[in-house]
């Protein structure tokens, strides 16, 4: 075989092949290639055929063909292999967008005939005027002088021999040298770190605004400079101090020049440094003062290299120094600005858009502010470029075995949408979050405008397109519905919100953080990227980070949060929202530090503008959490207060969905929503009338007055209070704090069609069972108390013979340990309000028999009377409960009505509304044998007209004085304990007659007699001849 190879080589391979290949490598230039990748490809193709070439020669050939900036970078990095040199060249080229075509006219090194960038025949007339400031010869300038370049190369070789006499200054170095007859000053261009590597915060030089001798300056901190340097002219009384020269970072030096030294007072922020020894030297435009090694040695500053914060341990009274931003704007002419930009007078130029920033709603405590200063890298203004690190949990998309890509057509976008989408794609490509794709799993993308930051108004999609503004903030949505249908969704549960709040019991200090851009901070598995592809009008792209809209993403993200924070009992996380809670400030600072360390370690970042630290009250997941307990977020209640009445089923479902989210705060929610329930059924005809309007407004009102619920304390005993009515059951879970019952949660439920027909005691048992099922996680395995107003429930628990249905109830109750207490119905006001709406009311008076006919009514209607008494007392106390619920407490069953009234100063005001509802019920729902008044707007107007015409009330109606009160167009007369509605005299006197018949002749009245009828009416109504009319 070897002989065959040798013969073939002799026959077909030219004898001078190696010389030809070396000539090809020598002639290969990056400027003759479309890009660096093509240059590397051609170089590799040639170098693979070259034999017996050392690695150093390969690097030399490769470096020689590069364009000047890339060549200098590769030479500076001192590569040991040609592969390493190629990698460095590619990194530098991509970060600086360098292309060979930009350097086609640049002279090649060591080529004598390319000393000028223009054709010599074209520039013969101007070359005569050119003279090098270094060698003093005509025909070229100092930048093209090869004597200077040769000297610089010689200086680099001998750098180690001179290093002992050098001291660096910023990007230059000053070297003491003997005086020379001819002093030539060579202006050296300032070298920015941005030309060496991608611009990152950690690579930036540390500069701060400060003062030097009272003049505003920019100070650079350089521990590599062996002296402090100031710009000429800043400091007076400088004295000559010999001759020095500048040595650049690569070892090359400038010619020597005389320098001056002196004393200066320099400061930045709240720090002042007096009598610093400084040296005068021309500096670049980026800074005016350099504080070098002597300053670092003397003051021992502590520097946070991530945030560039500077503090001094020896100065106890001063806090950490933040970079100072100039507050005053300096005007400059447009022509001057353009000229300075062309001359590279500015190191950095920004285009700034001024927006209104809302004021901080809360201040950060000083101990927490110190911790924030240490972890400023956790709160960047924008997420850093590049992919997030691979963590223990990454998102992976698994498809069904029979899944096939979709062949749906693309969405057509308008010109404005296309321009905005191009900006979005360019931003994500720059960050490295998306890449070009050829995947068949293509989904469509469309944009929805966000809230306009200038006006705060939500802009519709049509308004955005008509405006023609492609720079508005847009939320881009990818239609992943088909991909979600074809994928296997991981069944990972999200944390329960109520369980998160239960962990915060006893805490008084809270902090809330928001993770920036959520899912984009998590990688997606490489094999799953193809399923995230989306198309634009120009190209198809796929995500390298987890996108929004994929099924299963919330669960995977929640799993990642659990992996990172599950062991910390003082941190709860729901998707991208984090809450830290503590019992005191010292502990809270430690907790925040632990959280920040985890975020820094895992490269997770937060939005500083959406974070709140060390507050006694914060808004979290639509609730307000504080030491008092849990309340509804005021922003949500405000939105509900302005919610318009629904006009279709979809709008009603949205309203009930939001109200149902807060149903634990609403007493009697099932009863309030009862008229709205049938309208959400598809088979039900939409019929919105006054009953639905009343229900809608009552739910809105209940949310406005929602109480503050206490968080459960598992060291205290729980109390369950239940009740049942004809159509609903309800209950409340509470605990005793400081001698008062505080609600933890409310519960109510509408009865089903079969349950409505159950007897009363079974409904009461059902209410108990549903309450225990609802709060089983609080009650199971511990003793608690149950209060009910049905005596039979207590008897059934101990009866030896029960029905099969009741036996099932008893079997369920057997797993709990509780004491069942009976409380009279009139005192069970809490649960009673949850299970039934306001109904007819009666006064608490005994019956006297006026006729034989009345005696027959007594026995038949005693039960109705007692039921009415219960409801009257419940209505009376319900007003007080609403008042006290705002403070997180309500009345226990052993508190009487009289005590309630006396202990609640504002009960009288609440009673006015309660009495109006009672009056409305009495007037609009009289018995069938009495005439109906019909409490409508027309009746209200008749009352108003009657007040004006009635001599008994005309003057009081115009100018109400004690004891008369005018409210809602009606006139009331105050008594010792009640507000009585004044009934005017009309032509047919029908109002007064109807009231007397209702309280005496109706079935529920039971003919109590003239005197008792008068007493009952006098509690609610008033007119001067009431006793005579009765």
The model's pLDDT over 348-379, given as tens digits with 9 standing for 90+, comes to 666 665 544 344 446 788 888 888 888 888 99
Rounded to whole angstroms, how far apart are CA atoms 235 and 927? 102
Whether the CB-CB separation of 523 and 388 falls below 8 Å is answered with yes
Pick the closest to residue 440 from 482, 404, 484, 488 (CA basis).
404
Q: How would CATH label the architecture of 398-627?
A: 2-Layer Sandwich (3.30)
Task: For the chain, give every domain's residue range.
Answer: 14-106, 158-337, 398-627, 631-708, 710-837, 852-1029
The reply to whether 631-708 shares the fold of 398-627 is yes
pLDDT of residue 90: 87
| Burial of 1025: CB neighbours in 10 Å, binned 0-12, 13-18, 19+ | exposed
Query: Whole-structure pTM over 0.75, yes or no?
Result: no
Whether the CB-CB separation of 501 and 606 falls below 8 Å is answered with no
Q: Tell me the per-residue pLDDT of 786-832, one tens digit each, with 9 for 90 and over.
A: 888 877 777 777 777 777 888 888 888 888 888 888 876 554 544 44
Mean pLDDT confidence for 255-282: 83
Whether the CB-CB separation of 62 and 43 falls below 8 Å is answered with yes
Element (DSSP H or E) covering residue 230:
strand 228-230
Distances (CA, A) of 771 to 497, 716, 720: 19, 19, 8
Mean pLDDT confidence for 106-121: 38
Whether the CB-CB separation of 18 and 88 falls below 8 Å is answered with no
Concatenating the DSSP letter of every residue in 421-474 gives: HHHHHHHHHHHTSEEE---S--B-EEEEE-B-TTT--BPPHHHHHHHT-TTS-E
Pick the closest to residue 374 from 161, 594, 128 (CA basis).
594
pLDDT at 836 over 70: no
The tokens of 360 are what? 């901080």
CATH T-level fold of 710-837:
Ubiquitin-like (UB roll) (3.10.20)
Element (DSSP H or E) covering residue 212:
strand 207-212
What is the phi/psi pair of residue 290, to 5°?
Answer: -120, 120
pLDDT of residue 203: 64
3-state secondary structure 711-764: CCCCCCCEEEEEEECCCEEEEEEEEEECCEEEEEEEEEEECCCCHHHCCHHHHH
Q: Give the CATH class of 631-708.
A: alpha beta
pLDDT at 161 over 70: no
Q: Is 354 left (phi over 0), alpha (psi -120 to 50) or beta?
A: beta
The tokens of 327 are what? 């507050």
For the ranges 234-238, 610-614, 863-867, the lowest mean pLDDT is seen at: 863-867
pLDDT of residue 180: 35
pLDDT of residue 990: 79
E runs forming strands in 755-870:
783-788, 817-822
CATH number of 158-337, picked from 2.60.120.10, 2.30.40.10, 2.40.70.10, 3.90.105.10: 2.40.70.10
Q: Tell me the per-residue pLDDT of 971-1029, one tens digit each, with 9 for 90 and over.
A: 888 776 677 888 888 777 778 888 888 887 765 566 777 887 888 888 788 888 888 88
The tokens of 501 are what? 């709040």
Rounded to whole angstroms, how far apart are CA atoms 1018 and 841? 14
Residues near 261 by beta carbon (within 8 Å), at least 6 away in sequence: 238, 239, 241, 277, 278, 279, 280
The tokens of 997 are what? 């018949």
Question: Which segment, 617-631, 655-669, 787-801, is predicted with the most confidence on average?
Answer: 617-631
Task: Please tell me whether the peptide bond between 963 and the residue prior to it is cis, using omega within 30 degrees of 0.
Answer: yes
Helices (H), ranges, 644-689: 649-661, 669-672
pLDDT of residue 578: 93
């Amino acid at each position: 075989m070897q002989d065959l190879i040798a013969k073939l080589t002799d026959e077909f391979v030219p004898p001078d092949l190696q010389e030809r290949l070396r000539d090809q490598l020598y002639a290969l230039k990056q400027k003759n290639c479309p890009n660096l990748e093509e240059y590397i490809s051609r170089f590799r193709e040639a170098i693979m055929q070259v034999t017996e070439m050392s690695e150093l020669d390969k690097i030399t050939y490769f470096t020689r063909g590069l364009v000047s900036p890339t060549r200098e970078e590769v030479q500076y990095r001192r590569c040991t292999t040609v592969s390493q040199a190629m990698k460095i060249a590619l990194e530098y080229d991509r970060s600086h967008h360098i292309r060979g075509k930009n350097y086609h006219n640049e002279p090649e090194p060591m080529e004598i005939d390319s000393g000028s960038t223009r054709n010599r025949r074209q520039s013969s007339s101007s070359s005569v005027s050119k003279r090098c400031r270094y060698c003093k010869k005509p025909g070229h300038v100092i930048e093209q002088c090869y004597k200077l370049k040769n000297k610089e190369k010689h200086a680099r070789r001998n750098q180690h021999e001179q290093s002992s006499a050098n001291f660096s200054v910023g990007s230059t170095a000053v070297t003491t040298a003997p005086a020379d007859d001819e002093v030539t000053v060579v202006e050296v261009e300032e070298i920015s770190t941005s030309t060496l590597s991608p611009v990152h915060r950690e690579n930036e030089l540390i500069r701060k605004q400060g003062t030097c001798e009272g003049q505003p300056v920019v100070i650079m901190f350089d521990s590599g400079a062996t002296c402090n340097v100031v710009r000429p002219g800043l400091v007076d009384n400088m004295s000559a101090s010999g001759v020095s020269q500048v040595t650049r970072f690569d070892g090359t030096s400038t010619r020597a020049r005389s320098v001056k030294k002196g004393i200066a007072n320099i400061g930045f922020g709240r720090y002042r440094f007096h009598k610093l020894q400084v040296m005068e030297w021309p500096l670049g435009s980026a800074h005016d003062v350099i504080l070098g090694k002597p300053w670092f040695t003397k003051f021992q500053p502590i520097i946070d290299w991530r945030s560039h914060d500077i503090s001094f341990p020896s100065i106890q009274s001063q806090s950490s120094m933040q970079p100072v931003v100039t507050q005053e704007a300096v005007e400059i002419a447009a022509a001057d600005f353009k000229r300075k930009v062309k001359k590279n007078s500015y190191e950095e130029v920004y285009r700034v858009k001024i927006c209104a920033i809302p004021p901080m709603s809360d201040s950060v405590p000083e101990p927490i502010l110190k911790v924030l200063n240490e972890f400023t890298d956790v709160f960047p203004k924008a997420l850093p470029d590049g992919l997030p690190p691979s963590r223990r949990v990454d998102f992976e998309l698994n498809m069904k075995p029979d899944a096939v890509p979709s062949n749906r057509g693309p969405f057509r976008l308008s010109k404005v949408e296309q321009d905005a989408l191009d900006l979005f794609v360019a931003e994500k490509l720059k960050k490295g979050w998306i890449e070009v794709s050829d995947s068949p799993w293509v989904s469509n993308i469309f944009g929805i405008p966000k809230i306009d930051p200038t006006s705060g108004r939500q802009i519709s999609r049509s308004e955005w397109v008509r405006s023609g503004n492609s720079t508005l903030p847009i939320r881009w949505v990818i239609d992943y519905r088909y991909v979600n249908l074809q994928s296997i969704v991981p069944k990972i549960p999200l944390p329960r919100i109520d369980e998160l709040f239960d962990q915060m019991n006893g805490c008084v200090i809270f902090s809330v953080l928001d993770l920036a851009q959520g899912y984009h901070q998590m990688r997606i598995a490489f094999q799953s990227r193809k399923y995230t592809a989306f198309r634009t009008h120009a190209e198809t792209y796929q995500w390298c980070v987890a996108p929004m809209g994929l099924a299963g993403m919330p669960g995977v993200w929640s799993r990642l949060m659990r992996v990172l924070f599950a062991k910390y009992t003082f941190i709860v996380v729901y998707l991208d929202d984090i809450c830290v809670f503590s019992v005191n400030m010292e502990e809270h600072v430690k907790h925040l530090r632990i959280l920040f360390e985890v975020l820094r370690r895992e490269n997770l970042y937060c939005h500083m503008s959406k974070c709140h630290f060390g507050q006694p009250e914060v808004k979290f997941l639509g609730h307000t959490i504080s030491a008092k307990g849990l309340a509804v977020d005021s922003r949500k209640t405000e939105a509900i207060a302005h919610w318009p009445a629904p006009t279709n089923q979809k709008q009603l479902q949205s309203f009930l969905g939001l109200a149902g989210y807060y149903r634990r705060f609403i007493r009697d929610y099932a009863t309030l929503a009862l008229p709205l329930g049938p309208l959400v059924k598809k088979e039900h005809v939409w019929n919105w009338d006054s009953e639905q309007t009343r229900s809608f407004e009552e739910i809105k009102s209940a949310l406005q007055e929602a109480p503050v619920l206490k968080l459960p304390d598992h060291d205290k005993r729980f109390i369950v209070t239940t009740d049942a009515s004809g159509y609903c059951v309800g209950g409340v879970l509470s605990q005793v704090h400081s001698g008062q019952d505080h609600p933890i949660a409310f519960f109510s439920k509408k009865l089903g069609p079969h349950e409505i027909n159950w007897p009363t005691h079974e409904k009461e048992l059902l209410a108990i069972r549903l309450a225990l099922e609802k709060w089983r996680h609080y009650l199971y395995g511990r003793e608690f108390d149950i209060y009910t107003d049905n005596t039979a429930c207590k008897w059934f628990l101990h009866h030896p013979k029960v029905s099969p249905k009741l036996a099932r109830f008893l079997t369920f109750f057997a797993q709990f340990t509780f004491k069942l207490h009976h409380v009279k119905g009139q005192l069970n006001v809490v649960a009673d309000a949850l299970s039934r709406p306001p109904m007819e009311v009666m006064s608490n008076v005994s019956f006297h028999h006026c006729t034989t006919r009345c005696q027959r009514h007594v026995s038949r209607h005693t039960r109705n009377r007692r039921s009415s008494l219960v409801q009257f007392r419940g209505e009376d106390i319900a007003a007080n409960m609403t008042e006290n619920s705002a403070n997180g407490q309500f009345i226990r069953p052993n508190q009487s009505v009289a005590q309630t009234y006396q202990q609640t100063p504002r009960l009288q005001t609440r009673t006015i509304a309660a009495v109006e509802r009672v009056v409305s019920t009495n007037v609009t729902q009289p018995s069938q044998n009495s005439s109906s008044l019909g409490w409508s707007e027309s009746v209200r107007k008749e009352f108003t007209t009657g007040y004006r015409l009635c001599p008994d009330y005309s003057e009081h109606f115009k100018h109400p004085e004690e004891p008369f009160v005018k409210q809602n167009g009606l006139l009331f007369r105050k008594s010792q304990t009640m507000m009585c509605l004044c009934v005017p005299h009309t032509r047919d006197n029908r109002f007064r007659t109807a009231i007397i018949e209702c309280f005496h002749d109706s079935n529920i009245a039971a003919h109590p007699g003239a005197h008792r009828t008068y007493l009952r009416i006098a509690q609610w109504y008033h007119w001067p001849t009431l006793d005579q009319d009765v």
